[in-house]
Amino acid sequence: MGLLKSESGQTTVEYGLLYAGVILPLTFAIIFVAEMLWVWHSVVDFTRDGAQYAATHCWESNGQNVITYMHSKGRRRSPCSTSPAIGIPARSSTSPATEIAASIAYRTP
């Protein structure tokens, strides 16, 4: 009876150490990787849509119609409050028309 009584809290302590050291960080790591993959997928979709539009609608020599389309596309958001806002910053007069930079603003609730 004495052996059972002296080990009564050992399981709880071992589970607490396992939870704090392994299970909790692993859970947060999985969530973080899932969010990063979601943002990456959103950027890929945004870029693919812009490239498709540019391939079929680029009739101006400086590509201004494509830039205007991408600006309007980046302002739209999905109904989800945590969706990433993807847009293109204003282009400077020194950069060539063939370069487009994208910015991502990820807002958490």
Per-residue pLDDT of the chain (109 residues; tens, 9 = 90+): 455 556 678 889 999 999 999 999 999 999 999 999 999 998 899 889 888 888 888 777 778 888 888 888 875 554 444 455 555 555 555 555 555 555 656 555 4
In a domain? residue 23: yes
| Number of domains forming the structure of the chain | 1
Parent domain of 73:
11-105
Beta-carbon neighbour count of residue 42 at 10 Å?
Answer: 17
Asked whether 49 and 66 are in contact (CB, 8 A), the reply is no
What pLDDT was estimated at residue 103?
A: 60
For residues 10 and 6, what is the distance between their CA atoms, to the nearest angstrom?
8
Kindly state the tokens that stand for 63: 């590509």
Structural domain includes residue 5: no
Q: Answer yes or no: is 80 within a domain.
A: yes
Handedness of CA 92, 96, 97, 100 (dihedral sign): negative
Q: Do residues 88 and 71 touch, judged by C-beta distance below 8 A?
A: yes
